[in-house]
Amino acid sequence: MSLIKLAVFDIAGTTIKDNHEVSKALQAALAKQGHAVDLAQINPLMGYEKNLAIGQLLQMQGLASETITPQLISVIHADFVQQMLNFYTAGPAIEPLPNVEETLKALREQGIKVGINTGFSKDIADAIINRLQWREKGVIDYLIGSDEVTLGRPHPLMIQRLMQLAGITDPLQVLKAGDTEVDIHEGQNAGCRYVVGITTGIFTHEELASHHPTHLIDDMAKVLTIING
């Protein structure tokens, strides 16, 4: 019997394909307020709660701290959210990454609860899951957005909330998998038994390895090997 009772996965770049759509939407929202930011600066912050990411990006542009107001961040974030909602509800088809649906279903068939967490707000996350019909297809048990906790990644609150929903108190019964360094740090901060980096997103094997996950994979199906090995 598996030691793992809950497996937690990120969304963009981990379970669904992301061809920089998220970064480009954030770039456009920043540009609308007069801040030109390279994708190379945006990409590394994609796992973070987006209000936090916006604040960090504005700081990186050399803006005085007093000009980075909550109102400015809120305006940029609202524009970003609307772009993402439009994209995920009415844009091109959303595609799961290879072997994702099969792997998540296999975990559930083994009695392991599957949770999705994300740096997106809940409205965006819901739009994605609804369009993929993952609840109806029996792919996931739980979904949480970064705005449903007081602190997003790398803090462990989203994982801890999913543990509560699953009735789990021991983080050594949890696996966390994601494609960014902040996913890895979130899993580490939660004390998860397995913290899995996956190279289907924007970070390379070497970049993820520098953050010391317990495992590094290039195919979601390998999660089953980790859990059952």
What confidence tens digit (pLDDT) does each residue in 130-161 have?
Answer: 999 999 999 999 999 999 999 999 999 999 99
Q: What is the pLDDT of residue 179?
A: 96
What architecture (CATH level 2) is domain 21-90? Orthogonal Bundle (1.10)
Band of residue 1 on the pLDDT scale cut at 50, 70, 90: low
Q: CB of 174 within 8 A of CB of 18?
A: no
pLDDT in tens, 95-127: 999 999 999 999 999 999 999 999 999 999 999
Band of residue 18 on the pLDDT scale cut at 50, 70, 90: confident
What architecture (CATH level 2) is domain 6-17+95-228? 3-Layer(aba) Sandwich (3.40)
Q: CB of 129 within 8 A of CB of 140?
A: yes
The length of the chain, given as a count of residues? 229
Q: What is the pLDDT of residue 80?
A: 93
Residues linked to residue 48 through DSSP beta bridges, in sequence order: none
Q: What is the pLDDT of residue 171?
A: 98
Is the whole-model pTM more than 0.85?
Answer: yes
Domain range list for the chain: 6-17+95-228, 21-90
Q: CB of 210 within 8 A of CB of 228?
A: no
